[in-house]
Chains A and B, each alone.
Chain A
Amino acid sequence: MSVAPPAAVPAPRGGRRWGLLLAVAVVIGVIAWIAFSGIGNALVYYQTPTELLARGEAAIGQTIRLGGLVKNGTIQRTDDDLRFVLTDGNNELPVHAGIAALPPASFRENVGAVVEGRLSVTGTFEADQVIVKHDENYVAPSEGQLPSQVIDPGS
């Protein structure tokens, strides 16, 4: 078969590769389906105690990131366990973190914190992770800092 000159003229399309295009369309369709069907469960909503309580029972069991301040005088620690109250000034929620969710050493009262977990039927928020939140006022960020770390290096 002779080769067409490598310039502007498109080669004659005898029967466009519909088969191939169809295969490509199927592949894209499958991927899109996996992506969009999964996105519902994958979203982690960020809320304050007020917002979470306002949702009532619908919020039970859903993975949520709860942000607030650790209320003064509410921290109770044992070797394997941590309980405290998270408040946003208007409403508050008791939080329980098991040994796998122990917070970093900078965790203390009156500090901003984000806990990721689920609201249980008992009204306690069961945390999978406790992250101490910092404002980076004067320390500029660097590449490589990661969001969801139990150890919270200056972020």
Chain B
Amino acid sequence: MIPTLGHVAVVVGLAATLFAAASFALGGRRADPDLVLLGRRAMYVAFALALVASGAMVVSLLTHDFSVQYVARNNATTTPPFYSFISLWAALEGSILFWTLLATGWAALVLYRFRHRAPLLMPWVGLALALGAAFFFAVMTWPGDPFTRTTPIAAEGNGPNALLQNHPFMGLHPPLLYLGYTGMAVPFAFGVAALITKRTDEEWLGIVRRWTLVPWIFLTAGIVAGAWWSYEVLGWGGYWAWDPVENAALLPWLTATAFIHSSMVAERRGTLRVWTHALVIATFTLTLVGTFLTRSGVVASVHSFTQSAIGPWFAAAVVLTLALALGLLVWRLPELGDTRPHGRPVSREAAFLFNNVLFLAVTFAVLFGTLYPLIVEATSGDRISVGAPWFNQVNAPIFVALLFLMGMGPALPWGGTSWRTVRERFALPLLAGVLAVPAAWLLGLRGWAPLATIGLAAFVVVVMGEEVVRGAGARARSRGENAGTAVVRLTTRNRRRYGGYLVHAGICVMAVAVAISATAGSDVTTTLAPGESARLGGYTVTYDRLVVERLASDARVTETRAELTLAGPQSGSLHPALRDYPNSSSLIATPAVRTALGEDLFVTLLAVDPARQTVSLHILVNPMVAWIWLGGAIVALGAVFAAWPDRRRTATVPVPVPAEA
């Protein structure tokens, strides 16, 4: 009954979104607010239906209804309720359902918030959002029905993928990521609406700023959370491998970040408008490409993804979306010239232009590296993979250049300035940057990349620091405020700018942490008998004993655990383990990680010889890793601050429209 309800909700949802699309299109053409209202309400209904369908799936999972194929494959009677719940997004069909829920949620939210505003844009915003949601409902109606039934009904299901049961964090990472992905449809829809209505001036950009920042925060948090999960749970000792799945999440983030910056210029200076439109189109397209890469089985990692019939649908959606949106952009190209004269070369606009170029370069590099194996196999038949070193080799210099721009951009004035002014303005930060390098060297840091990163990070931080000091100082002098109040009042009156500075500061922290952890770490692989120890970087790891037992939380799982004692800068006991899940013919490793602010001590259990009771361990000292997560938190905090409305409310007067919901 409940699965049927879910399936019906999906099919009706398809009808509702198609109906909404038609209403919006007609309502837009005829400037008919009643039709637009109808479309809005249809989208509210679509969201409600997505809620019903998601609820039906969650209930099926919680009640272990194995008549539903998805439940039989991803759930078992022994699965704890928390993991049953998060299995909603654990596998292909369920994650599409979850995506639909979020996509219709964003659509309903933005349509509701703008029900009295921007009447010329909203019908087309609604159309784009409705069509996007309709696609996902269609995928669930035809090739990817999450409520497919099976007969006979299994008495026991497969249980969730072992990896998903290993750590409760799996509850957090996909939702964050998906909220980011789905939220990017909103700025895309506004961009499309601006192009259709020829209202390509600052209006849509002013609206879209906050509606891009919020999904961006989720996307950033999701990617950082993924890296953290990969590090803590998967146990290979690293956090980013340029794996196609990781790249799929990074690509839209890169263009979205570029878009946020580019739109500032377009809004304020009337230039880079084509860039801005192109970037938001690229962002949305890449969210679809990302889903395609992850879910379709197209790109061969060493492990195989399941083939599915959904692949061609996504490929078609990507091609269609890009063709239509690009067509719109090209159509309106003549209107998108600069509305104000260019500034001089050494200007903030120029810095932003280079910013766009560099972000796009990284995007292309990552896209190329990810898709190149496909191209090669399609043409020559050779199967290849592009290794991580290539990605690092190409992207490292670009990121370093971006760091430099992060310092230059905010301090260069709009419209341009002379080299003399530049010299004066940047004298102190440059000095700080240059001094930071030998200081870091003296502290033991080696390698051009980390040293350059530290130098540039110091440069950026001092530039921003100078701005804050100068601004607060001016306030304090002119208004008699003390330093603290001045800083608070300065920043809260212009959250965009100072929130942005905080984000950049967070990026600097992450950059330095990544540079150091990537180059200054050490590791050793060793086999130990009981009582033996291994030494690495001031730590001593002693192997005490081996324990094999069933998990208390799930009796089907057998855990083989090495009990180790750690001595050194951090001490205590470590229990890296291998877990044997019944539905997985291999063992899942859970590493033991000891985190301190300066470094992590990381141990993975590689292999066990039960006869001789020996264990093979991979021990790593990973410096500064905690700062990567902290830096990520700073970035998120800064973005939240930037998105928060200013204390002095900026006026966006709603256009009076007959009050309807």
Contacts and interface: CB of A to CB of B under 8 A. Distances in A.
Asked if A and B touch directly (CB within 8 angstroms), the answer is: yes
A145 interface: yes
Contacts of B82: none
Contacts of B243: 145-148
Given A44-B384, A45-B382, A99-B527, A146 B236 contact: yes
A105 interface: yes
B586 A132 contact: yes
A58 interface: no
B270 interface: yes
Contact of B390 (A39, A135, A147): A39
Which secondary structure characterizes the binding site on chain A?
loop
B361 interface: yes
Interface string B147-171: 0000000000010011110000010
A136 B354 contact: no
A27 B354 contact: yes
Contacts of A27: 354, 357-358, 361, 401
Contact of B90 (A24, A63, A105, A140): A140
A39 B230 contact: no
Contacts of A131: 302
B229 interface: yes
Contact of A10 (B202, B337, B585): B337
Contacts of A42: 386-387, 389-390, 393
Interface string A89-111: 00000000001101111110000
B345 A17 contact: yes
B482 interface: no
B584 interface: yes
B531 interface: no
Interface stretch (B107-115, B126-134, B604-612): B604-612
B241 interface: yes
A31 B361 contact: yes
17 contacts: A9-B337, A20-B353, A44-B385, A80-B527, A99-B526, A102-B607, A104-B587, A104-B606, A105-B606, A134-B586, A136-B305, A138-B73, A143-B177, A144-B229, A146-B243, A147-B241, A148-B302
Interface of A: 1, 3-12, 17, 19-20, 23-24, 27-28, 31, 34-35, 38-39, 41-47, 63, 65, 79-80, 99-100, 102-107, 114, 131-136, 138-155
Interface of B: 73-74, 90-92, 158, 161-164, 170, 173-174, 177, 198, 201-202, 226, 229-230, 234-236, 241, 243-246, 249, 270, 294, 301-306, 334-335, 337-342, 345, 350, 353-354, 357-358, 361, 365, 368, 372, 382-390, 393-394, 397-398, 401, 525-527, 578, 581, 583-589, 604, 606-608, 614, 616, 618
